[in-house]
Structure 1
Amino acid sequence: MLPLVIIIGLLAFVSTKPCDTDGSNQELLLSLNKNLLRSLATQEGLPNPSVHLALRLSSHHNLAKERDNLNRLKNELHNSIQSSLTNSQPVTGIMALYSLALKSSCYDLNTITFTVGDKSEMLLTNLKKQMEQEKEHIAFSHRPLTNYYQYSLGVLALCVSGIRVNNHVSHKLIKAAEHNNFKHGEEESVDTQAMAGMALQCVKDSGFYSHNPAELDTSLEKIKQKLLESQRTDGHIGNEFSTGLAVQALLAMGTNVEECAASMEAMRTAARSNTYHNPMAISQTLPALQKKSYLNVKSKECLNEDDSLVLEITGPTVAPSKTEVRVMVEVVTSSGATAAYSVEVPKGSSLLDALNLLSMKNVGFTFELESSLWGPFLSAVNGEQARQSDRRYWHLSSDGIALTEGVSDFKIDKVQKITIQNTSY
């Protein structure tokens, strides 16, 4: 699931004091940093390289916990990627994030290898081959093997690691920006615009692209304008969960951040409201709030790091509400056929809790989940799949408004109608 996902000094209201200088903002950053560190102990499934990357880009560290997490990445995530490679499954995005996470810890990437067939090759060599496969897929199908978000991550990871990115690989990304191909369905994907912007900015800074530098500049300017045009009246770019990456990209592309901007303030407001309780969301937002981007990994030295981050003992969890609310669930299949259900759930339950309760009622509703860095997502409903390999997914909406959170994060706090629709993109 990809999803999935941002500073605009030029369009922002101006404040008389610099960003992030007052104590409350510093406390907020520290709180987010601790929440991200705390998630290492509660995360389900494989360790998330995006979380590690954000912890390493942060100003404060718990080096012991970060070392333990690095070891988990090198074992558990590494073995998972190896398994995917053995089964000829595309791994561009997760391999790119893995390499960025390792580099953020100043780990020697030349010591990391994968075996394909009977041949063992270094991580970055494998990533270059993944990018060649992606590029060839664009040549005959006009789209990557995965998607342009993962393609951009691949370009960024290679470039940040000092690997010369093939001009033809960069050119495909430049052309995709030129032809407005960074979409999810019919809508512009802010996350993809942002990742492509960081990738192409790295390529520009490195001097790798010699085919047509003016073309590269034009694409970067177009991406920047797309991000600026996606700013909402409340300051968020796209939505609350795409703003972190968008801000990272704008910072990387040289947007002025001397004065406080609407997007930065929007992220702070959302953070104080606990909007970013998902570790993946925090991992993309925290670097932006600290005025950093994934491009900062390129110059990371891991010397004299602050090791002061300590986690306090947390209090008991709040007991679930006894108040129940009714949820109507509508399933729309790929053929347009619909089925409707109803279930009562405790107020504050997650959508996943609601679907589990509904499935236990034996009314014919069933579902299956797959894991992602953002948490579980629906892969099959009532026996029908919506697979990424078929360019389909289950689109979720509440009372006609698309959800910006996944099934485990979205909370049911009132009577509503949830629509689950098999959708192409």
Structure 2
Amino acid sequence: MLSLVIISLTLVACATGKPCDTEESNKELLLSLNKDLLRSLERQEGLPNPSVHLALRLSNHHNLAMENEHLNRLKNNLHNDLQNSLSNSQSVVGLLALYTLALKSSCYDLNAVTFTVCEKSKPLLTHLKKQMHYEKEHIEFSHRPSTNYYQYSLGVLALCVSGVMVDNHVSNKLIKAVEHDHFKHSGGTDTYAMAGMALQCLKDAGSYVQNAGELDTALSKVKENLLASRRTDGHIGNEFSTGLAVQALLAMGSQVEECAAAMEAMRTDARSSTYHNPMAISQILPALQKKSYLTVKSKECLHEDDTLVLEPIDPVVVLPSESEVALTVEVVMSNGAAAVYSVDVPKGSSLLEALELLMGKNVGFTFNKEPSLWGPFLSVVNGEQARQSDRRYWQLSLDGTALSQGVSDFKIEESQKITIKNTSY
């Protein structure tokens, strides 16, 4: 009976928006998430993820040997990939900004990092400033960045936390984008969150903007949009945007109590293994530790706790599912033409595995995928490409509701219909 009373009191605390757990009671969960991120380094395919490194460095507990090994991979593998992109005049402002933040989180001397383009070697931050000016000019002519405002915000944030004076014309473009609601088709909650952290960094730094009042107004509007995106279950936007949203609210001065429902929602998700994607964990872990990417600015890398140890775990053997479910896939091309396909897949298959099975049936369905920090995404379906440069992407939806997970994360647990639509933004 006593246990039921305790549970009831806990539910009342959650319902009233008060923190349900102390940081001490959630220490085991935070350590588990931290270890999940470390283990992701061991099975990481492709380029090292700077967002994962950033979260590990912002954490309260460390495995410095593994973090240093990952830092070296960033400085080699990711650096070389960025070098190739810059040499080919590609816009990589978001990845370059994350790389900057990752290095800064390890207290690495950013002036010692250079890229050579057209036989001229220039520092990392010089290249980032150049990329930001290119994006700013693109906004002037096209009324939007060549990438998106999420990456643009990341660029402003990375320059600011690195102590670089952000050109007022660059920061003003971000302020105007907030003022005129240009984020609704550019990432929504995630973009507002990243913009909020970038603009707050400018305010904290006392950076000159064309109108300081406009900066305050933009920050207020960002906060209003984030708070307006709160759901009854505590999430802000959706379960995968809540981490950045909480980071932004904390950075902009919200009290921890104001974010209690969102933090509890993230803890609930974490305990139910919703956040198995390393990119997702890298965004919620700082938030659950009451930190944000702005914390990087004051990080000193001194007297760090180096007690995090990965215990050996038994390999998980996944047995083939004996039951199959029917999957219907509808493909809608840019001109509106639609085609429908059906395939039976083992229950629990990822959408990516299901699409591979469908393509193997040789019924006319084909697709290509490209890597990203969140995992693979569809780039070509039935011979038609959806390119960022054309402001298009392949939207995945279930019964008219856009999926919040990518093709490798979403699981097919029952018979259902997935729509893949070439969509503009």
Whether TM-score is above 0.5 comes out as: yes
Work out the CA distance in 1 between the residues paired with 2:332 and 2:312: 45
> After superposition, where does 1:240-279 map in structure 2 within 5 Å?
240-258=239-257, 261-279=260-278
In structure 2, the residue matched to 1:78 is: 79
Q: Following TM superposition, by how much is the alpha carbon of 1:21 offset from its aligned partner in structure 2, in angstroms? A: 2.9
Q: Following TM superposition, by how much is the alpha carbon of 1:22 offset from its aligned partner in structure 2, in angstroms? A: 4.0
SS of aligned partner of 2:256: coil
Change (3 A) 1:244 1:410: same
1:127-172: per-residue Cα shift (whole Å, max 9, x none)? 0000000100111110012110000000000000000000110000
Are 1:40 and 2:38 an aligned pair?
no
Give the letter for the 2:22 counterpart: D
Q: Following TM superposition, by how much is the alpha carbon of 1:316 offset from its aligned partner in structure 2, in angstroms? A: 2.8
Q: Is the 8 A contact 2:171 2:209 kept in 1?
A: no
SS of aligned partner of 2:309: coil
Mind listing any 5+ residue stretches in structure 2 that lack a counterpart? 1-13
In structure 1, the residue matched to 2:309 is: 310
Give the letter for the 1:72 counterpart: R
Change (3 A) 1:18 1:207: farther
Scaled by the length of structure 2, the TM-score of the pair is 0.95
Q: Following TM superposition, by how much is the alpha carbon of 1:416 offset from its aligned partner in structure 2, in angstroms? A: 0.2
Q: Following TM superposition, by how much is the alpha carbon of 1:44 offset from its aligned partner in structure 2, in angstroms? A: 1.3
Are 1:205 and 2:204 an aligned pair?
yes
SS of aligned partner of 1:183: coil
1:235-286: per-residue Cα shift (whole Å, max 9, x none)? 1000000000000000000001157711010000111110000000000010
1:176-222: per-residue Cα shift (whole Å, max 9, x none)? 0000001226xx70000000000000000001124211110000000
Q: Is the 8 A contact 1:395 1:422 kept in 2?
A: yes
SS of aligned partner of 1:151: helix
Give the letter for the 1:92 counterpart: V
SS of aligned partner of 1:69: helix
Are 1:151 and 2:148 an aligned pair?
no
Give the letter for the 2:305 counterpart: D
Identity %: 74
Work out the CA distance in 2 between the residues paired with 1:21 and 1:83: 44
> After superposition, where does 1:338-353 map in structure 2 within 5 Å?
338-353=338-353
Work out the CA distance in 1 between the residues paired with 2:368 and 2:259: 44
The number of equivalent residue pairs is 411
Work out the CA distance in 2 between the residues paired with 1:413 and 1:359: 20
Give the letter for the 1:423 counterpart: T
Work out the CA distance in 2 between the residues paired with 1:90 and 1:123: 14
Give the letter for the 2:30 counterpart: L
> After superposition, where does 1:74-223 map in structure 2 within 5 Å?
74-184=75-185, 189-223=188-222
Mind listing any 5+ residue stretches in structure 1 that lack a counterpart? 1-10
Change (3 A) 1:227 1:259: closer
Work out the CA distance in 1 between the residues paired with 2:208 and 2:33: 37
1:54-101: per-residue Cα shift (whole Å, max 9, x none)? 000000000000000000000000000000011111010000000000
Give the letter for the 1:394 counterpart: W
Change (3 A) 1:90 1:260: closer
1:357-389: per-residue Cα shift (whole Å, max 9, x none)? 001111111000011000000000010000111
Q: Following TM superposition, by how much is the alpha carbon of 1:19 offset from its aligned partner in structure 2, in angstroms? A: 5.1
Give the letter for the 1:328 counterpart: T
Give the letter for the 1:30 counterpart: L
Work out the CA distance in 2 between the residues paired with 1:209 and 1:225: 24
Q: Is the 8 A contact 2:20 2:264 kept in 1?
A: no
Scaled by the length of structure 1, the TM-score of the pair is 0.95
Q: Is the 8 A contact 2:246 2:259 kept in 1?
A: no
- Of structures 1 and 2, the one scoring higher in RCO (CA 8 A, sep 6+) is 1
Change (3 A) 1:384 1:404: same
